[in-house]
Amino acid sequence: MQKHWKHALYATIAACGLYGQMVMAQGPIEKIPRAGTQARYHVGDSIQAGSGAYGNYQITGRGWYRDGQKIGDGQTYRPTAADAGHKIAYAEEIRDPKTGKKYKVFSYTVEISDGATALANKDPALSTGVKSPHVGETVSGIAGQYEGTIVGGGWFIGTRTNQMQKVASGSQYKIQPNDAGKLLAYREEVRSAQGRISVFSTLPVRIAAKNETSPTPGNDNDICAAITARQTPLIAGMDIQPLPDTPLPEKGVATLEPTYKTCLVRITDTGSLKQNNFNFRRNIYSRSQAFNADNSKMILMDQAGFWYLYDAQTGKEIRALKDFQGAEGLPHHIAGGNAEPQWHASDPNTLYFMNENGVGMKLFSVDIGKNQVSLAADMGAEIRKYWNAADIATTRSEGSPSSDGRYWCLLARDSTSWKTHGV
């Protein structure tokens, strides 16, 4: 496909909208249409769409859509009260001059506000980012940017995101000893011009114990401690050196890399794995993160599609990811290489995964400390609003969540024909 990228893609083309709308088209798309010039509009505003570019394909229709349903024609649209709280998209119908077939090309979506609800242009954040704050540390909440006025802020703590309780007001919080291991979030109350209050929150982060630190030289649990203790700091920038011919290191032994004096550790031994007729155990793909949020654990997959949890500091296998505890009907192990396990962005104990190939359009989470599985999201009903035949939601192991874990981009497919319906 890349050789046709600049001028024409004669294949199904799918892209994620900036605000979550499905964008689906076929044909020589040089530029997709746009729904106005802003990310958000209010009821009563006039939105002027911009046309796409499609080579020799002809534009035969223009319209506006809300939740997959057409709500207007032409290039200009004025949102009504029915659009408030929804996202709308502009679409152009194009015609293939050779075959006469027609396709719809959707813009990115824009959000419609009724003006009565406060909206966030930028969510609040923590001074520690997504890293785990420690007991005894004072954390600051960084105010978001809103269409409205901040009237209050506070700190919420709990063992699960849906069980968090307010523990303090204000923009700073000193973490207490009994907070260790729990989740922390900072939330702001924002009042709209009409007086309606909305709440906006940071992503929850796990609180670390006071003595829970990242591995440092001299830490007996760090397999590389002896080497890193005498390592000269690396210099930033590009440096190209010849690759030396070095012998295969022993499994589980820290090895000094000769060029830059860094630490290398061989985690697996394919010789021992072959006794079970499995030829490898590795990270599935460069686009999937093997390490969890605090780099204490990592996951590897074997040739049969089974997944394993490793201690990232010692390099030792902890256990296979199976025999999960959970409600009836939930999967009790991660089944297959295409189950796409993905670590939580800030909680090092939470791992997300799907059914094999994304069949069922569900996302599960497992607490690796408790080996407890739960349903994180059931996307079936929402996806079928657009494609009734879809029963698969997947990245095909080609993607991962956004860096903060808030957004996923998935292909909608069906398991009968394996046709891709959209994104």
Q: Which domain holds residue 50?
A: 34-113
State residue 20's pLDDT score. 32
CATH of the domain at 333: 2.40.10.480
Alpha helices in 229-347 (DSSP H): 270-273
Same domain? For 184 and 226 the reply is: no
Would the pLDDT of 416 be above 70? Answer: yes
Domain end, chosen from 159, 184, 207, is at: 207
Tens digits of residue pLDDT in 143-177 = 998 888 999 999 999 887 677 899 999 999 999 99
Tokens of 331: 């999967």
Give the mean model confidence (pLDDT) for residues 350-366. Answer: 92
**How many whole angstroms separate alpha carbon 71 and alpha carbon 65?**
5
Would the pLDDT of 341 be above 50? Answer: yes
State residue 405's pLDDT score. 84
Same domain? For 346 and 309 the reply is: yes
Same domain? For 104 and 126 the reply is: no
State residue 28's pLDDT score. 63
Nearest CA-CA partner of 401 in 344, 356, 357, 326: 344
Same domain? For 298 and 403 the reply is: yes
Q: Is 348 left (phi over 0), alpha (psi -120 to 50) or beta?
A: alpha
- Per-chain mean pLDDT for the chain: 82
Would the pLDDT of 105 be above 70? Answer: yes
**How many whole angstroms separate alpha carbon 209 and alpha carbon 114?**
45
pTM (global) more than 0.75: no
Residue 129, in any domain of the structure: yes
Residue 23, in any domain of the structure: no
Residue 24, in any domain of the structure: no
Residue 87, in any domain of the structure: yes
Is the CB of residue 353 less than 8 Å from the CB of residue 342? yes
Residue 6, in any domain of the structure: no
CATH of the domain at 72: 2.60.40.10
**How many whole angstroms separate alpha carbon 80 and alpha carbon 136?**
51
Same domain? For 418 and 297 the reply is: yes
Nearest CA-CA partner of 366 in 309, 423, 286, 285: 309
Same domain? For 221 and 330 the reply is: no
Nearest CA-CA partner of 284 in 264, 306, 266, 268: 306
State residue 219's pLDDT score. 44
Same domain? For 260 and 312 the reply is: no
Q: How confident is the model at residue 75 (pLDDT cuts 50, 70, 90)?
A: very high
Same domain? For 235 and 286 the reply is: no
Would the pLDDT of 228 be above 70? Answer: yes
Tens digits of residue pLDDT in 179-206 = 988 889 999 999 988 888 889 888 788 8
Alpha helices in 204-264 (DSSP H): 225-228
Domain end, chosen from 63, 84, 113, is at: 113
Who wins on pLDDT, 92 or 26? 92
Tally of domains within the chain? 4
Same domain? For 230 and 361 the reply is: no
Q: Any idea what DSSP says for residue 359?
A: B
**Helix, coil or strand: residue 394:** strand
Q: How confident is the model at residue 294 (pLDDT cuts 50, 70, 90)?
A: confident
CATH of the domain at 137: 2.60.40.2700
Residue 41, in any domain of the structure: yes
**How many whole angstroms separate alpha carbon 28 and alpha carbon 311?**
48
Give the mean model confidence (pLDDT) for residues 350-357. Answer: 91
Tens digits of residue pLDDT in 231-260 = 667 766 777 777 777 778 888 888 888 877
Residue 354, in any domain of the structure: yes
Is the CB of residue 332 less than 8 Å from the CB of residue 373? yes
Residue 25, in any domain of the structure: no
Would the pLDDT of 76 be above 70? Answer: yes
Helix (H) or strand (E) holding 310: strand 307-311
Q: How confident is the model at residue 272 (pLDDT cuts 50, 70, 90)?
A: low
Same domain? For 93 and 145 the reply is: no
Same domain? For 301 and 410 the reply is: yes
Is the CB of residue 397 less than 8 Å from the CB of residue 373? no
Same domain? For 172 and 295 the reply is: no
Would the pLDDT of 11 be above 70? Answer: no
